[in-house]
Structure 1
């Protein structure tokens, strides 16, 4: 058995289309040009506050607008689920991991309310014993404290973190846990520049990678 913690956006789900829609609704209200889906994916990863800061920088919005835009972004975020989809094979992989006796959690920089909303919308709540969002603690990834808190809430077992980004890789490194890298998410640099125990592009490979990592840890 392993305790496996997942990132959410860019790892289990592609939420960028919904987030792009929120961002562009905010930009439209202040008379700025929309951002692209590629820009949206580039801005995701360090939490809502950093996303809004990157959005402001990209469209030359003043620092004084930050708190208002962030509040409006978070208000709209709770219902931003209609264009979000799991990556292919995610549901099957999570089911297989549970059948193999593993325990699962989530550690994401997404705020906790929209995290729970999207998990409920997709029917994924049943997979996870513990879920921690970017605002669940005073700090968020790449600080290792949220990841460590999720592992502490799960039964004691060999620990594995699964994510898609430089933030996730750094979080795992700081926490001292093996990192499995999903290569089709929102990463911004080449795979070989990110520390990882293994990389995969297809979720069908994940149960086997977990089994091999557990055998190494044992």
Structure 2
């Protein structure tokens, strides 16, 4: 029995436009200049608290304002986190294929759990995922291995593949020992060759073959 666990931002969805919009609405409220889409995109991946830290550093804001800005950002973002967000091409079809094959699906993301669930529901994907671990579900978040291990335990399958797009995901997978498939079209900041991965892909249409190789069905397993 097999499972596939996905990161969310930069893996299944391109959420950078909505995150960028919420960041700039936050900055406008405190009379600070907007940041470019490319700048905000480079800040994504380590969770909202780190995102806010990076925004504050870019605008020279005092660290004492972090809590208030964190709350302000979430108010803007949670109001509608899927206005500009899109699924990556072929992602839905592959998720449907996996579900039809009986592969258990999970999410392990550093995005807070509430907007994660809202986005999955907005795209009609929420029923596909048996477990959702967000950045605030546990006391720790990726690259700590605990969230990914918790997702894998909840799915309870013999073979599990993790799919992500970033250095954070690569570190997390390495810490758990789970096979890792790297999506190269997301928010990665390092060259592919510098990141731990067992396979890489640029098109979701290629993922089923990768999962079949990294987590073969018992009947497909061959003796060495």
Please, what TM-score do these two structures have when normalized by structure 1?
Answer: 0.97
1:215 CA drift (Å): 3.1
Cα distance in 2 between the residues matched to 1:180 and 1:15:
20
Q: Over residues 59-96 of structure 1, what are the superposed CA-to-partner deviations in whole Å (9 max), with x where a residue is unaligned? A: 11111111000011112222221001100110001011
Partner of 1:97: 98
Cα distance in 2 between the residues matched to 1:203 and 1:72:
35
Partner of 1:63: 63
Partner of 2:193: 192
Cα distance in 1 between the residues matched to 2:17 and 2:50:
18
Cα distance in 2 between the residues matched to 1:204 and 1:105:
19
Partner of 2:44: 44
Moved over 6 A (4+): none
Structure 1 runs not aligned, ≥5 long: none
Q: Which moved more, 1:92-101 or 1:202-211?
A: 92-101
Partner of 2:129: 128
Partner of 1:166: 167
Partner of 1:18: 18
SS at match of 2:216: helix
Partner of 2:84: 83
1:140 aligns to 2:144 (yes or no): no
Partner of 1:30: 30
Cα distance in 1 between the residues matched to 2:32 and 2:81:
21
Q: Which moved more, 1:172-181 or 1:93-102?
A: 93-102
The answer to whether the Cα contact below 8 Å between 2:2 and 2:217 also exists between their aligned partners in 1 is no
1:156 CA drift (Å): 2.2
Q: Over residues 79-118 of structure 1, what are the superposed CA-to-partner deviations in whole Å (9 max), with x where a residue is unaligned? A: 2210011001100010111122211000000001100111
Cα distance in 2 between the residues matched to 1:100 and 1:117:
26
Partner of 1:4: 4
Could you say what the CA RMSD is over the residues aligned between the two structures, in angstroms?
A: 1.2
Cα distance in 2 between the residues matched to 1:77 and 1:21:
8
Task: Check 1:89–1:154 CA distance in 2 against 1; reply closer, same or farther (3 A cut).
Answer: same
1:216 CA drift (Å): 9.4
The answer to whether the Cα contact below 8 Å between 2:110 and 2:134 also exists between their aligned partners in 1 is yes
SS at match of 1:49: helix
Q: Over residues 135-158 of structure 1, what are the superposed CA-to-partner deviations in whole Å (9 max), with x where a residue is unaligned? A: 000000000000000011003221
| Aligned residue pairs, count | 218
Cα distance in 1 between the residues matched to 2:73 and 2:115:
11
Cα distance in 2 between the residues matched to 1:136 and 1:167:
17
1:55 CA drift (Å): 0.3
